[in-house]
Amino acid sequence: MLNEKVSKLINEQINKEMFSAYLYLDMSNYYINKGLTGFANWYNIQAKEEMDHAIIFITYLQNNNFEVVLEAIAKPTIDYADNKAPIKESLKHEQFVTASINAIFSAAVTVNDFRTQQFLQWFIREQGEEEKNVTELLVKYDWAKESLYLLDKELLARVYTPATFVF
Ligand code: FEO
């Protein structure tokens, strides 16, 4: 039997993971609308991973005889100012999720719930990965802009050569 507070926090975490999926689908939609299908694909996969996380939390509770309650998923409401904004927003969101998982772990420590502590190890590692991946994407984004700058410079270097037309 899991501790009541710990179970409740895990049940709430299910909603946070499902919201994450929704948020990333929204970002994927944003990029589709911008014609950036690679970015859209990246966020679509991100959304699928979040649904996996939700299922893992559900299964854990069910394996411990807890009756899972699914709450409504909030509508993502962020308007993105530019193409980099969703990436910055997703880093902020992952940091929020990390804090949330840490809070569950902390509650499990307080009540000597060793089973949940062990279960959460995977998520603690996963959050490290998630934050690393998004941080790298932010760096790559700036490099890509750099490439655009290089391409722009290359195009600027084009010189006019008068046509040599022989009739
Ligand atoms: Fe399930 Fe991206 O944290």
Burial of 13 (0-12, 13-18, 19+ CB in 10 A): buried
Domain count, the chain: 1
pLDDT score recorded for residue 148 = 65
> Which residues touch 45 (CB under 8 Å, ≥6 apart)?
none
Per residue of the chain (167 residues), give pLDDT as tens.
899 999 999 999 999 999 999 999 999 999 999 988 888 999 999 999 999 999 999 999 999 999 999 999 999 998 999 999 999 999 999 999 999 999 999 999 999 999 999 999 999 999 999 999 999 999 988 888 878 667 778 888 888 888 777 77
Ligand 1 center to residue 50 CA distance, Å? Answer: 5
Ligand 1 center to residue 52 CA distance, Å? Answer: 9
| Full domain range(s) for residue 33 | 4-156
What is the Cα–Cα distance from 7 to 27, expressed in whole angstroms? 30
Q: Whose CA is nearest to atom 1 of ligand 1?
A: 50
What is the Cα–Cα distance from 98 to 71, expressed in whole angstroms? 21
Whole-angstrom Cα Rg for the chain: 23
Helix, strand, or coil (residue 68): coil
The answer to whether residue 163 is domain-embedded is: no
Residue 133, CB-side half-sphere exposure with 13 Å CA sphere: 13
CATH number, domain of 139, equals 1.20.1260.10
pTM: 0.88
Q: Which residues line ligand 1 (CB under 6 A)?
A: 17, 20, 50, 53, 94, 97, 130
The answer to whether residue 166 is domain-embedded is: no
The answer to whether residue 161 is domain-embedded is: no
Ligand 1 center to residue 110 CA distance, Å? Answer: 24
Atom of ligand 1 nearest to the CA of 50: 1
Ligand 1 center to residue 104 CA distance, Å? Answer: 14
